[in-house]
Structure 1
């Protein structure tokens, strides 16, 4: 039994080994088959790629051949066209040359024929000329005789009749008096119209109806202006808005009650809204406005006094009240004690002080300056309100950026009439970012930035304004602003250095005199 059991165990192990060997063979065969399939697939793929490559090369060769054939055909066509054009030009030139030769031959033949006819008929022509001259001379002599006889009889009849002589003298006298009166009346009327409607030479811009407008629009009817908000389109700080709104309300009530206007001085950096607010103030108050600049006064020389009086005479004739805005007023209203001011400019300043010595119910004076410390002390005495227009803060800059973004970008893009489109991005977030980056910039600089965005869209190929284009224009504007600030600081440093040199010289001079006096 043990032997049988052992024998059975050996047979079982043998069978197991055989089965295991069979399984290994099957696995090996499967692995070989898989490798064979993979290799076949790689070969198929490589064959397909090679065939595709050959097909692409054949297609490219065909394209190159077709292109070469097209170029050759085009070249031949161009050569044919050039040959035809050359033949046509040669034909036209030949025709023009033949026509010119024929014209010359015709003119020469006509000239010869005309000369021959004139030579043959010379005697007849001279006889005709002689007869015409004799006839004309006889006609002139008879006309002179007839006119002398008529005028002589008329003069004798006129002199012999005393009543006719008296009436003629009286008529000539009345005619002379009428001509003289009409000429003087025309001069007086002209001066009156010029004083009422003519714009003075110092006034650059005005909303008042002038003679030029009357000539251009003779049937134009001026309607009564509607009340408008004085701060419409003007972005200022809250405290400054409150103050200028009070000034606007007071000015409008003053105009309605025919009171005395208060004079205002607006000072601050350029581009902060001084001129814009002055115009809005005039429209809000129902007044006319006139803008003049101080730089126009000095070049007038001796005529400055007369021109200044004409400005105020013209302002006093306004029925609606006139807001006289003087931009860059420090150009001619500077201190009279300084040596830099000429005698003519000093006389013009005196005329200005004379006409503004008392407050008026006809005009309101608004001065704007970047350097108010240069004003003559008499000018400061004529100012009733002083308003500082400072650079916009972060909140004001964001309002300005949004205002000009809507005006120069969104409205043209949504109107559909202009070649301007806007890419998709967060407009509000972008305006806030730009407001933070434009620190220290004025309202005018921000408005120019809006114009630059519009110009960037117009200069692009598709007319689309992208976020990158906006950022590029903002970078350029910031760099330019920093450059301007560097120039300004350099100028201020030069002024400080000059003052320090002057003070040092004065100190040394004082020490030298002190030592001399003590010795």
Structure 2
């Protein structure tokens, strides 16, 4: 189309079939380069003429419409290409804008991170400065306090020194004044005595003569009175006889009363009192009967209890203990000789409890003494030991004498270094237990039976082992103390505790697995701890 309208930018293109015209001269139509040029000076009218001529020829041609249509289509194609390029350009511009926004966002994020880091660093630095400043203040305050304390101590020391100096000065002045006063008094007294020496000697002489005369007259009077009385008493034989008889009866009465009192005291102590070594007993004493009459009456009316009630043991040990309690009861009923027993095992396995239950089931009294109480008694240990066995022999129902921690004083005499008093007490114990008795049954308990003296083995008839509870025994103990310390207070107490809904049996089994190696006493303390925790939560609620 450019050739059609003559709009070539460079040299114009001639349509096909037309001759090419040479370009006009550069200087214009006139060829003169000196004239001024206007805007129409470079216009070439030959292009228009050629365009008009081409249009005429095109109109005359039979392919004019096809050429125009082709030109129009080429123009549309060109426009569409131009539009597509414009859209591509716009898309590229939008993409550049998006990239620019993303880059700006990234830069802004980096800037914010850097500002945050700088703020944190600044805050940390300020905090560090503040801590250093605070530490410096504390250090300065401490230095100031130490300086003030030092000044106060110096001031107190100075005041104390001044006070001491003042007191010493006052004491020195007082001593000087006292010495001067004493010296003046001595001089005055010496001067007075020198002046009155004759008078003083005369007074002393008169007093001595008067005292001698008084003593002589008193001696003469007393001799005369006693002499006349003695002559009168000797001359009257009835008075002499009555006096001798009275003195004899008085001596006999004093001696008899003293011995009778001692015998009665020993009898009361042996029959009614409790020896010093006995810590606990089921025998009634006069003092206990007077203090707790209702308790004494209830104990007299009580029936024999089961020896294994409340004692948790395995099946085999349960049967063995049952045979022992039946044997002991039959021995008492048939008035036979009691068998002595040694119980050994870890602490808290039920030795003391079983001994009490055994005595109650057999209808016997029990007495509990501790081996640790024997050694501190020293020389009195032998007497106290004899009193225990004398008291045990007076029991009508039979006495179960339980010695806890017996290895404390029944140690080996050959290898152990024991005192003479403890050795004498051990000998007294061996003497009193040399033969079996119908009055008392000896039960020894120990955690270390290997420390016993060899002579003790001859006194023991049966040895019973109290081992730690097994899994089944622990579960039974946990259930027993859970019922006693948790379930019963929760159902029957004044302030009933609230228990959560869970499987108690399963929980007790889990606790029993976790309490491996614990004794019965430790499991009971665990139950008490449950109760205390429950009561604390109830009070908090």
TM-score (norm 2): 0.51
Residue-by-residue CA offset, 1:228-247 (whole Å, 9 max, x unaligned)? 1110000011116556555x
Distance 1:218 1:117 in 2: 84
Q: Deviations over 1:221-268 (max 9, x none)?
A: x6254121110000011116556555xx00001011110000001111
Instruction: Tell me: CA distance 1:30–1:289, structure 2 relative to 1, closer, same or farther (3 Å).
Output: closer
Change (3 A) 1:82 1:176: closer
1:424 Cα deviation after fit: 2.6
Q: Distance in 2 between matches of 1:417 and 1:93?
A: 74
Displacement of 1:422 in angstroms is 2.7
Partner of 1:433: 510
Is this contact kept in 2: 1:230–1:245, CA < 8 A?
Answer: no
Structure 1 residue 413, shift from structure 2 partner: 1.6
- Contact in 1 for aligned 2:497/2:538 (Cα 8 Å): no
Offset, 1:25: 43
The DSSP-based 3-state class of the residue aligned with 1:204 is strand
State the alpha-carbon separation in 1 of the partners of residues 537 and 527 from structure 2: 65
Equivalent position SS for 1:208: coil
CA distance in 1, matches of 2:540, 2:321: 62
Offset at residue 125 of structure 1 (A)? 42
Contact 2:371 2:407 in 1 (8 A): yes
Contact 1:329-1:369 at 8 Å conserved across structures: yes
Cα deviation code 1:302-345 (max 9, x no counterpart): 22111111111111111111101011111111111114222222
CA contact (8 A) 2:399 2:440 kept: yes
**Would the aligned equivalents of 1:237 and 1:396 in 2 still touch at CA under 8 Å?**
yes
* Structure 1 residues 265 and 126, CA gap change in structure 2 (3 angstroms): same
Structure 2 counterpart of 1:51, from 126, 129, 134: 126
Distance 1:107-1:25 versus aligned 2 partners, 3 A rule: same
How far apart are the structure 2 equivalents of 1:236 and 1:166? 81
Bigger Rg, structure 1 or 2: 2
Q: Distance in 2 between matches of 1:423 and 1:105?
A: 95
Per-residue deviation, residues 185-235 of structure 1 (Å, max 9, x unmatched): 333212110111221111111111124314425798x62541211100000
Provide closer, same or farther for how the CA distance between residues 383 and 164 of structure 1 changes in structure 2, counting only shifts above 3 A.
Answer: closer
Report if aligned partners of 2:359, 2:365 keep a CA contact under 8 Å in 1: yes
Match of 2:78 in 1: 4
Distance in 2 of aligned mates of 1:300 and 1:42: 81
SS of alignment partner, residue 219 of structure 1: helix
Q: Are residues 234 and 135 of structure 1, via their aligned partners in 2, closer, same or farther at CA, if it must alter by over 3 Å?
A: farther
Structure 1 vs Structure 2 CA RMSD: 13.2
What secondary structure, in the 3-state scheme, does the structure 1 residue paired with 2:464 have? strand
Distance 1:517 1:381, change over 3 A: farther
Gaps of 5+ in 1: 455-513
- For residues 50 and 232 of structure 1, the distance between their equivalents in structure 2, rounded to whole angstroms, comes to 75
TM-superposed deviation, 1:4: 46
| Matching of residues 172-191 of structure 1 within 5 Å | 181-191=256-266
- Name whichever of 364-373 and 179-188 sits farther off: 179-188
Which structure: greater helix fraction?
1
Displacement of 1:128: 40
| 8 Å CA contact 1:254, 1:261 repeated in 2 | yes
Are 1:322 and 1:363, in contact at CA under 8 Å, matched by a contact in 2?
yes
Change in 2 beyond 3 A, CA 1:324/1:143: same
Q: Name the SS for the 1:262 alignment partner.
A: coil
User: 1:359 Cα deviation (Å)?
Assistant: 0.6
Of 381-390 and 145-154, the range deviating more from structure 2: 145-154
Counterpart CA distance in 1 for 2:492 and 2:152 is 48
List per-residue Cα deviations over 1:408-459 (Å, max 9, x = no partner).
11122211324644333222221111111111111000000010011xxxxx
Give 3-state SS (helix, strand or coil) of 2:369's partner. strand
Instruction: Say which SS state the counterpart of residue 422 (structure 1) adopts.
Output: coil
- Cα pair distance change 1:32/1:110, threshold 3 Å: same
CA distance in 1, matches of 2:242, 2:466: 77
Residues 112 and 423 of structure 1, relative CA distance in 2, 3 Å threshold: farther
Between the two proteins, the alignment pairs up a number of residues equal to 457
SS of residue matched to 2:307? coil
1:339-393 CA-to-partner distances (Å, cap 9, x unmatched) read 4222222221111111111110010010111111111111111111111111101
Distance in 1 separating the partners of 2:415 and 2:113: 103
Deviation for aligned residue 1:518: 83
Over 3 Å counting, the alpha-carbon distance change for 1:287 and 1:112 in structure 2 is farther
Larger mean Cα displacement after TM superposition, 94-103 or 255-264: 94-103
Residue 63 of structure 1 is matched in structure 2 by 138
Distance 1:406 1:244, change over 3 A: farther
- Residue matched to 2:336: 259
Find the partner of 1:131 among 206, 212, 219.
206
Task: Give the distance between the partners of 2:179 and 2:491, measured in 1 at CA.
Answer: 68
Q: Which structure 2 residue ranges, 5 or more long, are not aligned? A: 1-74
- 2:301 aligned counterpart, secondary structure: coil
Q: 1:121 to 1:269 in 2, by over 3 A?
A: same
Which is worse superposed, 180-189 or 331-340?
180-189
Of 138-147 and 277-286, more deviation after overlay is shown by: 138-147
The question of whether the paired residues in 2 share the 8 Å contact of 1:231 and 1:245 is answered with no
Deviates more, 1:291-300 or 1:160-169: 160-169
Please point out which of 133, 143, 158 is paired with 2:218.
Answer: 143
The secondary structure found in structure 1 opposite 2:502 is coil
CA contact (8 A) 1:225 1:283 kept: no
